[in-house]
Amino acid sequence: MIGAGPAGLTAAHELTRRGLPVTVFEADDVVGGISRTVEREGWRFDIGGHRFFTKVPAVERWWHEVLPEEDFLSRPRMSRILYAGKLFDYPLKPVNALRNLGLVEAIRSVASYVAAKLRPPRDQSHFEGWVSARFGQRLYRIFFKTYTEKVWGMPATAIQADWAAQRIKNLSLGSAIVHALFPRQGQTEVTTLIDRFQYPRTGPGLMWERATEQVRAGGGEVRLGTAVVGLLRGDLGVVAVEVESRDADGTAVRRVVSADEVISSMPLPELVLAMDPPAPADVREAARALSHRDFLTVALVVPEVCGFPDNWIYVHSPEARVGRVQNFGSWSPHLVKDGRTCLGLEYFVDEGDDLWESDDADLVALATAELELLGLVPSGAVERGYVVRMPKAYPVYDEGYDRQVDVIRGWLGGAVPNVHPVGRNGMHRYNNADHSMVTAMLTVENIAEGTAHDVWSVNVEEDYHEGSGPVAGDDRTPGAAGPLGPTAPAAGTGRSAPVRPAPSVRAA
């Protein structure tokens, strides 16, 4: 098994439960992958804040088998949008929105909507033109532009309209108002479900630490600090993996471990490029064409009174680079201590860009200054800060990414049928933890019981779907937060994905 995130540990747990031998190789020194809980000097924080909710009964059961009831909290969900110093309820509520916009801005917004209807923007080929044609310039600027630009790291005029069209679908100001006035209309169970969510007492990492203990107790091995760097191919598939770890004095040591089946949650392109002998040129090219968006959190310790009741706040204010601010104290009182809370300022970045490369001290200073600028916390109240960088947090859906994944899938299935990609980056799929786990469960059934589940259909086929929320969506992920929620009603799960424009558009 490659990787000890949710997918890897679920697979390992399912294998040991069946009495089958398994070794998990995890490159990092901690378990949980993107769903880990980071601990620094007794402060705990997630990579983004991980809500546990699922419509898949097997996953729900699994969580409660692994973690005893007393380790679960049921938390209320609250989040708002910060813009121009005002906090807008999220999803929007008409009275609150009107009060925050003020009568003058509300009239201007309606006028700008009418103007857009009478004289729509000429160029609607990009996100800005497309959205402002439907909502008017002013609402577009308040509720769409800035956050979208932060997520994508590019101007909204460089983002294809297709993306908005897919995500926002038939949403218009009219339907927005109807939904805001009659919030229950057309809503599904999911929307209700996510008003509250489950959360392990000391963060999501607790689940994965317990799972690791249980895998080990069941006879499985979990080797941390051990990266899979090569997959050695024979005629019928992969026969061994090459792993690299460090010995006591820090020297890299490589060894080869034979394998009957390989379940992989390492990033799909890296899996392909680690094949030995190498995959054919077109498959390697497809792998190289896939990309990721990265993520950086600056966690600042402040007195509890400086916190807020929200789990997180979306920052639409253009003057700050931060995209969201988590209050980890609102997730669980067990993440924080000493009458203080920890605020996680989240930046959407690309590995190697200026933020990614900045010194931790500079990032803490930036985040501290931005909290003050936004009017959330005076800078003198920040006591200390920690920086966590998470590469490859989001598999990017570029134009054509699905064709590249198909090329890779096709080749893997034919040349190395005993290699089973699972999970999020493992399948280059926008899977949340529950769906990542389902891919692992089905893979283990295929291996252990000879079933023929199509693991790639998870999150695509209705059977494995979460019910679709019309517009409320799931804000675990940084889609463009529209006035009714992240604008991702089209995909069925209501979860938004940072789809990027084609390279040609990007270059433009």
Ligand X SMILES: Cc1cc2nc3c(=O)[nH]c(=O)nc-3n(C[C@H](O)[C@H](O)[C@H](O)COP(=O)(O)OP(=O)(O)OC[C@H]3O[C@@H](n4cnc5c(N)ncnc54)[C@H](O)[C@@H]3O)c2cc1C
Give the pair of three-digit tokens for residue 503: 């390279």
Out of 79, 191, 432, 468, point to the residue binding ligand X (CB under 6 A).
Answer: 432
Of 253, 255, 272, 252, the C-alpha closest to 264 is 272
Asked whether 503 and 398 are in contact (CB, 8 A), the reply is yes
What would the x/- binding string for ligand X be over residues 288 to 327, using CB under 6 A?
Answer: -------x--------------------------------
Out of 149, 261, 310, 434, point to the residue binding ligand X (CB under 6 A).
Answer: 434
Binding to ligand X by residue 4, rule CB under 6 A? yes
Asked whether 240 and 229 are in contact (CB, 8 A), the reply is no
Q: What is the nearest approach in angstroms of ligand X to the Cβ of residue 350?
A: 14
Binding to ligand X by residue 424, rule CB under 6 A? yes
Tallying the residues shown for the chain, one arrives at 508
Identify the bridge partners of residue 221 per DSSP, sorted by sequence position: 23
Give the pair of three-digit tokens for residue 460: 């695509």
**394-413: contacts with ligand X (CB under 6 A):** 394
Out of 425, 468, 487, 493, point to the residue binding ligand X (CB under 6 A).
Answer: 425
**440-499: contacts with ligand X (CB under 6 A):** 476
Asked whether 429 and 265 are in contact (CB, 8 A), the reply is no
Of 202, 200, 214, the C-alpha closest to 39 is 202
Q: Return the exposure string of 284-296: e unless at least 16 CB atoms fall within 10 Å of the residue's CB, then b.
A: bebbebbbbbbbb
Q: Return the exposure string of 368-379: e unless at least 16 CB atoms fall within 10 Å of the residue's CB, then b.
A: bebbeebebbee
Size of interface with ligand X, in residues (CB under 6 A)? 35
What span, in angstroms and rounded, lies between the C-alpha atoms of 82 and 100?
Answer: 10
**229-288: contacts with ligand X (CB under 6 A):** 265-266
Task: Give DSSP secondary structure letters for 205-257.
Answer: HHHHHHHHHHHHHTT-EEETT-EEEEEEE-SSSEEEEEEEEE-TTS-EEEEEE
Q: Give the binding range for ligand X (CB under 6 A) out of 32-40, 59-67, 79-87, 353-361.
A: 32-40
Q: What is the nearest approach in angstroms of ligand X to the Cβ of residue 4?
A: 5
Work out the end-to-end distance of the chain between its first and last CA atoms, rounded to an integer number of angstroms.
42
Out of 436, 443, 487, 493, point to the residue binding ligand X (CB under 6 A).
Answer: 436
Q: How far is CA 182 from CA 91, 177, 178, 244, in A?
A: 12, 8, 6, 57
Binding to ligand X by residue 48, rule CB under 6 A? yes
Q: Give the binding range for ligand X (CB under 6 A) out of 48-56, 58-66, 308-316, 354-362.
A: 48-56
Task: For 481, list phi and psi in degrees, rounded to 5.
Answer: -75, 110
Out of 15, 22, 27, 81, point to the residue binding ligand X (CB under 6 A).
Answer: 27
Binding to ligand X by residue 151, rule CB under 6 A? no
What span, in angstroms and rounded, lies between the C-alpha atoms of 191 and 206?
Answer: 26
Maximal CA-CA distance, the chain = 72
Q: Kindly tell me which of 145 and 392 has the beta carbon lying closer to ligand X.
A: 392
Q: What is the nearest approach in angstroms of ligand X to the Cβ of residue 242?
A: 10
Of 402, 411, 365, 400, the C-alpha closest to 384 is 365
Binding to ligand X by residue 3, rule CB under 6 A? yes
Q: Give the binding range for ligand X (CB under 6 A) out of 380-388, 423-431, 479-487, 497-505.
A: 423-431
Out of 12, 15, 22, 47, point to the residue binding ligand X (CB under 6 A).
Answer: 47
Q: Give the binding range for ligand X (CB under 6 A) out of 103-111, 156-164, 407-415, 419-427.
A: 419-427
Out of 6, 91, 136, 498, point to the residue binding ligand X (CB under 6 A).
Answer: 6
Of 365, 362, 368, the C-alpha closest to 325 is 368
Q: What is the nearest approach in angstroms of ligand X to the Cβ of residue 6?
A: 4
Q: What is the nearest approach in angstroms of ligand X to the Cβ of residue 394?
A: 6
Binding to ligand X by residue 51, rule CB under 6 A? yes
Q: What is the nearest approach in angstroms of ligand X to the Cβ of residue 477?
A: 6
Chain contacts with ligand X (rule: CB under 6 A): 2-8, 25-28, 33-35, 47-48, 50-51, 227-228, 265-266, 295, 393-394, 423-426, 431-434, 436, 476
